C-alpha cells in the first residue's frame, strides 16, 4: 500500500487533489479537487445515490447549509458538539486530548473517559507535547466545533449563525414536509449529499480530517422497536456497497461501539474502519438514533412531528437509523485500496490504480496509433462515446507511454485505432488490470463499457 506521503504526491501530480489557495502560500488543511478528483468525487456521490436512494426507493433532500440557530440548540450541538482541547503550557500548541492518549495507548477506549480522566492520564503518564517534548499540559477545556458566522450587516450575537456540522439536521426539520409531500409511508429514508463544516482542533492525514468536507447521509425513519432490524440491514448493506466498489475485504472491518460508550441518544452504533497507512480508522458510521432528534425538534419548535401510521392507526415519533459517510474519506480509501506500483514480467514497472469502472474518472481511453492515419476516425468515436461517458482522448506520445498514463489514473480500458481499423472496423482493447489485449468490433465498445458499470451488490 502507498504511504500517505506517496499518495499526496500522486494525487497532486495526476490532478486529483491540490493544496488549497496554493498560489497564495496555501490555506492550511484545505484542498481543491482537480479534473480527476472532481470526476472521482462525482462518481462516488452517484454510486452512493444509486445504491442508497434509487435502489432502496428512498427520497432525496437538498437543505440549506445555514439553518435557524434553534436547530442546533435542539440537536444538542450548541452545548455538546465539542472536543477535549488541551494546550501545551510551554509552546502553546493545542491538541485534542483524546487523540494524544489514543496515540500512546490504542487499547484505551477514549470515548469512555471524562475530561478529568484525561487530565489525570496526561499527568500520570507524563505525556510529552509532540511539538516541544515538554510534559506540561493545561487542564482540558471543551471546544465547540461549529463554525460561527454572522447573518446580515451587523456582527452582533443576535445575528450569529452556524455553518452546518452535519447534513442530518436539515432532514429532521423537514421530516413533516417530506412525509406529507412525498406520500411515503414509514419505513422510508431521506438521502442528502452536501457540505458540512467543523472547526476541528487537529485536522490532518491529508483529506481524512478537514474543516470543510462533504457528507452522504441517510436518515431512515422506521416504527419504534423495528430499528434494530433496519440497523442490521443497513450495516450489512454498507459492507456490500464497499465490496461492490472493489474495496478489498481485508481492508475494512466493523467496529461495534460498546454499550457504555454510546451517545445518550443511541441504542446501537458501529463504524466501518478502513486500513489507512496510520492504522484502521473511521470511514463510515451508522447509528441507531432512536426518536431523539425528532422529539427534540418537536419540543423546541412546538410542531407536532409525530406520524400517523395508517396500517394500524398508531401514532408515534419515528425512530431513525443513520448511515453517514464522508465523500473524501471514501475517495481516500479508494485510492489507498487501488494504487499499486507493479513490476511487470519484463522488469518494467507501472503505476496502476485498480479502481472500479463505476468510480474511475474516465471510463475508457481512445488512442489513434497514428494521428494522421487514424485521428479523424478515432475522434469521431470519441465524440460518440463522450455523449454517454467521460472519455480520455490522447493522440500524442508512444502507445506504451499512453497506456502507462491511463493505467496510473485508473482508466479500465484503452482502445487503440490502428492500421487494421479502417478495413475491419475493429480496434484493440486493452484491459487495465490484466493488460490483456484483444481485437473487438467498434460497434461492441458501448456494450463492453456498459457491462463494466453493472455492480453486484
Ligand atoms: N450525522 C452523523 C454524523 O455526522 P459523524 O460520525 O460525526 O456522524 C459521519 O460523521 C462521517 O462524516 C464520518 O464517518 C466521516 O466519514 C465523515 N467526517 C466526519 N468528520 C469529518 C472531517 N472532519 N473530515 C472529513 N470527513 C469527516
Q: What pLDDT is stored for residue 386 in this prediction? A: 98
Q: Which residues form the domain of 397? A: 362-452
Under the banding of pLDDT at 50, 70 and 90, the label for residue 111 is: confident
DSSP state of 366: E
Summarize pLDDT for 279-320 with one digit per residue, the tens. 999 999 999 999 999 999 999 999 999 999 999 999 999 999
Shared-domain flag, residues 373 and 397: yes
Strand segments (E) across 175-228: 188-197, 212-222
Instruction: Tell how far the Cα of 248 is from the centroid of ligand 1, in angstroms.
Output: 22
Strand segments (E) across 63-177: 82-87, 94-96, 141-144, 148-150, 160-162
Instruction: Tell how far the Cα of 353 is from the centroid of ligand 1, in angstroms.
Output: 26
Q: What percentage of the chain carries pLDDT values higher than 90?
A: 93
Give the span between the Cα atoms of 401 and 378, in whole angstroms: 18
Going by C-alpha positions, the residue among 342, 341, 338, 340 that lies closest to residue 355 is 338
Shared-domain flag, residues 388 and 278: no
Summarize pLDDT for 433-445 with one digit per residue, the tens. 999 999 999 999 9
Shared-domain flag, residues 211 and 295: yes
CATH of the domain at 447: 3.40.50.800
Query: How many domains, in total, are found in the chain?
Result: 3
Inform me whether the pLDDT recorded for 155 exceeds 80: no
Helices and strands of the chain, counted as H and E runs: 15, 23
Shared-domain flag, residues 240 and 189: yes
List ligand 1's pocket residues with C-beta within 6 A: 166, 168, 198, 200, 209-210, 213, 215, 217, 282-285, 322, 324-326, 328-329
Between CA 45 and CA 53, with CA 49 as vertex, the angle to 5 degrees is 160
Shared-domain flag, residues 169 and 302: yes
Name which residue sits closest to atom 21 of ligand 1, judged by CA: 209
Name which residue sits closest to atom 22 of ligand 1, judged by CA: 209
Shared-domain flag, residues 246 and 394: no
Mutation test of ligand 1: which of 29, 33, 163, 166 has the most ligand atoms closer than 8 Å to its C-beta? Answer: 166
Give the span between the Cα atoms of 300 and 169, in whole angstroms: 14
Atom nearest to 166 CA in ligand 1: 4
Shared-domain flag, residues 221 and 325: yes
Cell, residue 71: 436547530
Instruction: Tell how far the Cα of 377 is from the centroid of ligand 1, in angstroms.
Output: 47
Average pLDDT taken over every residue of the chain:
96
With H, G, I as helix, E, B as strand and everything else as coil, classify residue 204.
Answer: strand
Shared-domain flag, residues 296 and 436: no
Mutation test of ligand 1: which of 204, 213, 218 has the most ligand atoms closer than 8 Å to its C-beta? Answer: 213
Amino acid at each position: 500500500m502507498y504511504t500517505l506521503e506517496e499518495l499526496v504526491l500522486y494525487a497532486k501530480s495526476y490532478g486529483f487533489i491540490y493544496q488549497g489557495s496554493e498560489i497564495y502560500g496555501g490555506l492550511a488543511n484545505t484542498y481543491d479537487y482537480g479534473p480527476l478528483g472532481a470526476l472521482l468525487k462525482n462518481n462516488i456521490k452517484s454510486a452512493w445515490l444509486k445504491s442508497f436512494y434509487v435502489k432502496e426507493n428512498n427520497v432525496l433532500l437538498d437543505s440549506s447549509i445555514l439553518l435557524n440557530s434553534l436547530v442546533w440548540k435542539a440537536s444538542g450541538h450548541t452545548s455538546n458538539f465539542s472536543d477535549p482541547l488541551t494546550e501545551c503550557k510551554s509552546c502553546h500548541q493545542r491538541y485534542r486530548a483524546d487523540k494524544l492518549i489514543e496515540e500512546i495507548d490504542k487499547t484505551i477506549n477514549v470515548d469512555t473517559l471524562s475530561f478529568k480522566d484525561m487530565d489525570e492520564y496526561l499527568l500520570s503518564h507524563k505525556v510529552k507535547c509532540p511539538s516541544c517534548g515538554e510534559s506540561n499540559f493545561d487542564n482540558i477545556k471543551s471546544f465547540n466545533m461549529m463554525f460561527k458566522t454572522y447573518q446580515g450587516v451587523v456582527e452582533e450575537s443576535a445575528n450569529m449563525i452556524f455553518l452546518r456540522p452535519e447534513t442530518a439536521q436539515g432532514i429532521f426539520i423537514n421530516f413533516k414536509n417530506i412525509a406529507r409531500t412525498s406520500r411515503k409511508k414509514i419505513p422510508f429514508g431521506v438521502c442528502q449529499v452536501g457540505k458540512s463544516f467543523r472547526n476541528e482542533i487537529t485536522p490532518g492525514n491529508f483529506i481524512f480530517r478537514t474543516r470543510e468536507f462533504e457528507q452522504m447521509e441517510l436518515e431512515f425513519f422506521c416504527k419504534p422497536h423495528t430499528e434494530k432490524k433496519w440497523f442490521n440491514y443497513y450495516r450489512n448493506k454498507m459492507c456490500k456497497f464497499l465490496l461492490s466498489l472493489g474495496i478489498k475485504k481485508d481492508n475494512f472491518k466493523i467496529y461495534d461501539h460498546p454499550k457504555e460508550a454510546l451517545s445518550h441518544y443511541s441504542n446501537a452504533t458501529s463504524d466501518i474502519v478502513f486500513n489507512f497507512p496510520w492504522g484502521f480508522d473511521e470511514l463510515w458510521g451508522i447509528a441507531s438514533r432512536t426518536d431523539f432528534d425528532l422529539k427534540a425538534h418537536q419540543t423546541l419548535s412546538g410542531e407536532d412531528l409525530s406520524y400517523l401510521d395508517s396500517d394500524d392507526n398508531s401514532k408515534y415519533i419515528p425512530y431513525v437509523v443513520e448511515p453517514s459517510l464522508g465523500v473524501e474519506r471514501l475517495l481516500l480509501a479508494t485510492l489507498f485500496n487501488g494504487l499499486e506500483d507493479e513490476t511487470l514480467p519484463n522488469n518494467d514497472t507501472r503505476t496502476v490504480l485498480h479502481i472500479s469502472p463505476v468510480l474511475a474518472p474516465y471510463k475508457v481511453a481512445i488512442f489513434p496509433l497514428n494521428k494522421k492515419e487514424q485521428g479523424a476516425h478515432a475522434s469521431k468515436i470519441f465524440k460518440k462515446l463522450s455523449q454517454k461517458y467521460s472519455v480520455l482522448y490522447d493522440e500524442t506520445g508512444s502507445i506504451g507511454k499512453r497506456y502507462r498514463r491511463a493505467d496510473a489514473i485508473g482508466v479500465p480500458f484503452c482502445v487503440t485505432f490502428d492500421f487494421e481499423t479502417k478495413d475491419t472496423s475493429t480496434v484493440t482493447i486493452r484491459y487495465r488490470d490484466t493488460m490483456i489485449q484483444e481485437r473487438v468490433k467498434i460497434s461492441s465498445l458501448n456494450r463492453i463499457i456498459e457491462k463494466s458499470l453493472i455492480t453486484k451488490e
